[in-house]
Amino acid sequence: MARFLTFAMVAPVASFGALAVGERREGWDRPARSGVLGLVAACLGLTREDEAAQSALAAQYGLAMLCHAPGEPMTDYHTTQTAPARRGWRPATRAEELSGPAEGLATILSRRDYRTGAWHLGALWSRVDAPRWTLEAIAAAMAAPVFTPSLGRRSCPLGLPLAPILISGGTAADVLMDRHDTGPEARLRVRSGSFREQLAGRVRVRGARPLLVLDTADVARQGGGAPVLRREVRRDQPLSRTRWQFALREEAVLVPGAKGES
């Protein structure tokens, strides 16, 4: 039996950012690996400048997610003031950047994607014998985070506690499905009704099974024998938080609860 740390990722409004090019900030229908590891890093109190700690977090832990509800898409429009580029000038703060003459400032428009009512469960496990943080330490940090955790952007606070639970199980798929069916969020099924009703427990609709996502390389050991629906390539494996660099990663989307060949 392996050890896993399961936790909830539920928010009234969430942002699962994809590659940001130009004025459009598109979003996925589920969290990126880098986003979930960033949430864990916030709980542990890691800064982006701590490259050694960030690298250990990215390399030493496996992650699987059970996507119960992707949420409804929502688009927001932002206007932002920008200062003209000046050679050799690196302002230390946003206020300093905008401190020049008002006539030199410009305004840009950006479009950002969000999700309302997103509902996902996560499972972490150690890939090495002696990880930098034990699962118990990460669970304690999730229960009393150093930095405020959010689901995507800082403007997306959690709607439910992370509620970390340490559990032994055969596979990540097994422990996630067990939490989905019997865990603390089980009575708050979110297929219909307003999010306020969902959080109040007045909506309890049982329906289709959720989707399971994890690294393709982990399917054989952690997929629980569930069939693979599709594979997707995502650029969300952290390489450097300070330089904002991410590597490509192949992710498998499975259908748990249905046994079959992958």
Which tens digit of pLDDT belongs to each residue from 32-53?
999 999 999 999 999 999 999 9
Cα angle: 229, vertex 234, 236; to 5 degrees: 130
Question: Is the per-residue pLDDT at 207 higher than 60?
Answer: no
* pLDDT at res. 202: 36
Mean pLDDT across 50-75: 94
Extract the runs of DSSP E, i.e. beta strands, from 197-244: 211-215, 228-240
Longest dimension (CA), the chain: 65
Give me the sign of the Cα torsion angle 125, 131, 136, 142: negative
Question: Is the per-residue pLDDT at 216 higher than 60?
Answer: yes
User: What pLDDT, in 10s, does the model give residues 133-191?
Assistant: 999 999 999 999 999 999 988 889 999 999 999 999 999 999 999 999 999 988 775 44
Higher pLDDT, 257 or 155: 155
User: What pLDDT, in 10s, does the model give residues 8-38?
Assistant: 999 999 999 776 666 767 888 999 999 999 9
DSSP H or E stretch at residue 244 = none
Question: Is the per-residue pLDDT at 119 higher than 80?
Answer: yes
> With 0-12 CB in 10 A as exposed, 13-18 as middle and 19+ as buried, what is 26?
middle
* Helix, strand or coil, per DSSP, at residue 262: coil
pTM of the model: 0.82
* pLDDT at res. 260: 45
* pLDDT at res. 50: 95
Higher pLDDT, 218 or 28: 218
% of the chain at pLDDT higher than 90: 61
User: What pLDDT, in 10s, does the model give residues 135-147?
Assistant: 999 999 999 999 9
Which amino acid makes up residue 228?
V
Q: Read off the DSSP letter of residue 18.
A: E
> With 0-12 CB in 10 A as exposed, 13-18 as middle and 19+ as buried, what is 106?
exposed
Which amino acid makes up residue 97?
E
Provide the mean pLDDT of the chain: 86
Q: What are phi and psi of 183, to 5 degrees?
A: -75, -175
Place of tokens 């916030």: 42
* pLDDT at res. 107: 79
Give me the sign of the Cα torsion angle 251, 147, 145, 163: negative
Domains and CATH numbers, the chain: 2-21+28-74+115-187+209-254 (3.30.70.2660)
Q: How far apart are CA 34 and CA 239, in angstroms?
A: 10
Mean pLDDT across 105-113: 81
Residues 6+ apart with CB under 8 A from 4: 123, 124, 125, 135, 166, 167, 168, 169, 172, 175
User: What pLDDT, in 10s, does the model give residues 83-98?
Assistant: 777 777 777 887 777 7
